[in-house]
Copies of this chain bind each other. A is one copy, B any other.
């Protein structure tokens, strides 16, 4: 069974590094990672906020938020 993970980002360099390295390093047998660009998909900002995302890049799974380094605050994307 695979766990759904969401990787929220905004296309910033810090985000791209985290996506290409960390999100891509997850075990594909256990995790399926959906990549969400919050700069382009503003309709998904409330969903990210509700999950507890305060800045991007962030990885969310199993109800936990992992803020990875710091690219931009969520408030800057609104």
A residues in contact (CB < 8 Å) with B: 5, 17-18, 21-22, 25-31, 59, 61-62, 64-70
Instruction: Please classify the interface of chain A as helix (H, G, I), strand (E, B), loop, or mixed, using the class held by over half of its residues.
Output: strand
Known: A26-B27, A27-B27, A27-B28. A21 touches B69 (CB 8 A): no
Q: How far is the CA of A34 from the CA of B17 in the complex (A)?
A: 21
**Max count, chain B CB within 10 A of own CB: residue among A29, A31, A69:** A69
Chain B positions within 8 Å of A66 at CB level: 18, 21-22, 68-69
Q: How near does chain B come to A60, taking the closest CB pair, in angstroms? A: 11
A59 touches B26 (CB 8 A): no
Question: 15 A–B contact pairs at CB < 8 A?
Answer: A5-B25, A18-B66, A21-B62, A21-B64, A21-B66, A22-B59, A22-B66, A25-B26, A25-B30, A26-B27, A27-B27, A27-B28, A27-B29, A67-B69, A67-B70
